[in-house]
């Protein structure tokens, strides 16, 4: 666990005032990585596989302002900076040659980076090297896209954003009825080197969507040249050290249970494509049954090689038929009107006080990367379940860390905050 990094990147009432953040717009990173010298396979959005991939992070809206355009995606991102990149190994998939691809979001397609030979595969980086028939989806982060704005705390945002991408994969596989399993424990250093990342990008997790075969892979011959994904870059030794310190897993077991959702497929697809981060609430209540539906989705198991638990605390501000107060696991921890307190804890943002419910995700477990990835993953479930019901949601990565812990009465790390409402 990177306790040092977490402690060093906490926010407090005084820290955000003593160290105001000024942006150098001349060094703003580009949001798309493009392997321009590699063949592009356009995604067929009328085909299940094409839609399944597009839902992982494809563009679903554009916003235009004087002199600038922003492209929004099916996943949220702190500051709309989108540090997460997606690579996919395919084997035995219709309409795609066996190979390793990069999801070219800007061009709505897959770039074939490397054709696989029969004895090759990224499975070489896993403990179980049996071939996967199907897809292995790898999630990486180009950290400067986030550190340009958020400095050292950006590592938290990179992890949360990749967790949202994991959640997007989960929702996509839900629609097309495929099982998935996440892996945090693999040889990340090997793959970082093979993919030519040069410490400017790093792998965080991967998901297996397919079935194991008896044969084992013997090698991986891919040796990609470096491709710039920012246009500008400034190294951050704090982030790089935190990444390397938290690469391995400690004292956890696999979680073998799979989630069971109650979404209707057509409505779920609509929610995926319409998902937005709400900018303000109207301070209107939601129904008790709506909160129950959202919580049920958030609490589903995450099948992976690490069973570390993330706790879901929530402050009820405006829910019909429920007492205002702080809750954990359905139990009222302390009653009271904490609307203003919740807003203050979220760096004095009205999102926290005008919401119907404000969530705080925490953990006392040891594995830093998986925990933050899980928090983002759970946050994505919150987004999608809320959108599914016509309720707004906003992820909040900035909060007064120690004051949140004091309010909750816990020694856990605070990983994420979210607010929902109308």
pLDDT(71) > 80: yes
Mean pLDDT, rounded, for 349-373 = 96
Output the CATH code of domain 3-245: 3.40.109.10
pLDDT(57) > 90: yes
pLDDT category of residue 14 using cuts at 50, 70 and 90: confident
Element (H, E) at 331: strand 331-335
Q: What is the 3-state secondary structure (H, E, C) of 217-281?
A: CCECCCCCCCCCCCCCCCCCHHHHHHHHHCCCCCCCCCECCCCCCCCCHHHHHHHHHHCCCCCCC
Convert the pLDDT of each residue in 302-330 to its tens digit. 999 999 999 999 999 999 999 999 999 89
Tell which residue, 224, 218, 80, has the closest CA to residue 138.
224
pLDDT category of residue 2 using cuts at 50, 70 and 90: low
Convert the pLDDT of each residue in 373-417 to its tens digit. 999 999 999 999 999 999 999 999 999 999 999 999 999 999 999
pLDDT(15) > 80: yes
**Superfamily (CATH) of domain 275-421:** NADH Oxidase (3.40.109.10)
pLDDT category of residue 22 using cuts at 50, 70 and 90: confident
Q: 47 in helix, strand or coil? A: coil
Give the Cα separation of 81 and 405 in Å (integer).
28
Phi, psi of 205 (to 5 degrees): -160, 170
Least confident piece of the model among 21-30, 100-109, 177-186: 21-30
Give the Cα separation of 240 and 155 in Å (integer).
9
Would you list the domain boundaries of the chain?
3-245, 275-421
Tell me whether the CATH fold assigned to 3-245 matches the one assigned to 275-421: yes
Look at the block and give the residue holding tokens 């219709």. 94
pLDDT category of residue 16 using cuts at 50, 70 and 90: confident
């Amino acid at each position: 666990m990177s306790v040092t990094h977490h402690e060093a990147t906490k926010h407090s009432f005084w820290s955000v005032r003593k160290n105001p953040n000024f942006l150098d717009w001349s060094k703003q990173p580009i949001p798309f990585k493009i392997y321009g010298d590699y063949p592009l396979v356009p995604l067929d959005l009328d085909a299940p596989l094409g839609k399944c991939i597009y839902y992982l992070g494809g563009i679903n809206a554009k916003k235009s302002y004087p002199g600038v355009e922003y492209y929004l995606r099916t996943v949220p991102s702190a500051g709309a900076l989108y540090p997460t990149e997606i690579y996919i190994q395919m084997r035995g998939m219709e309409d795609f040659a066996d190979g390793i691809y990069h999801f070219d979001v800007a061009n709505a397609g897959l770039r074939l980076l490397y054709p696989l030979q029969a004895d090759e595969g990224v499975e070489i980086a896993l403990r179980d090297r049996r071939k996967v028939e199907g897809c292995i989806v790898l999630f990486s982060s180009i950290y400067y896209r986030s550190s340009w704005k958020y400095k050292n705390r950006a590592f938290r945002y990179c992890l949360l954003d990749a967790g949202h991408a994991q959640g997007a994969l989960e929702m996509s596989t839900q629609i097309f009825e495929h099982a998935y399993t996440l892996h945090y424990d693999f040889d990340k250093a090997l793959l970082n080197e093979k993919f030519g990342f040069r410490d400017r990008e790093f792998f965080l997790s991967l998901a297996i969507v397919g079935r194991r075969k008896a044969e084992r892979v013997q090698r991986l011959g891919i040796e990609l040249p470096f491709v710039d994904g920012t246009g500008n870059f400034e190294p951050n030794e704090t982030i790089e050290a935190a990444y390397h310190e938290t690469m391995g897993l400690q004292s956890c077991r696999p979680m073998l249970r799979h989630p069971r959702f109650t979404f209707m497929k057509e409505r779920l697809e609509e929610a995926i494509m319409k998902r937005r981060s709400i900018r303000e609430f109207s301070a209107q209540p939601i129904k008790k049954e709506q909160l129950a539906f959202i919580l049920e989705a958030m609490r589903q198991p995450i099948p992976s090689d690490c069973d570390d638990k993330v706790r879901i605390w929530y402050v009820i501000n405006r829910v019909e038929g429920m007492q205002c107060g702080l809750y954990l696991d359905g139990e009222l921890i302390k009653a009271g009107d904490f609307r203003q307190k919740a807003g203050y804890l979220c760096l004095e943002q009205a999102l926290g006080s005008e919401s119907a419910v404000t969530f705080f995700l925490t953990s006392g477990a040891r594995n830093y990367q998986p925990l933050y990835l899980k928090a983002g993953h759970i946050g994505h479930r919150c987004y999608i379940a809320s959108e599914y019901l016509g309720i707004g949601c906003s992820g909040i990565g900035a909060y007064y860390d120690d004051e949140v812990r004091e309010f909750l009465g816990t020694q856990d790390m605070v990983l994420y905050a979210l607010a929902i409402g109308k």
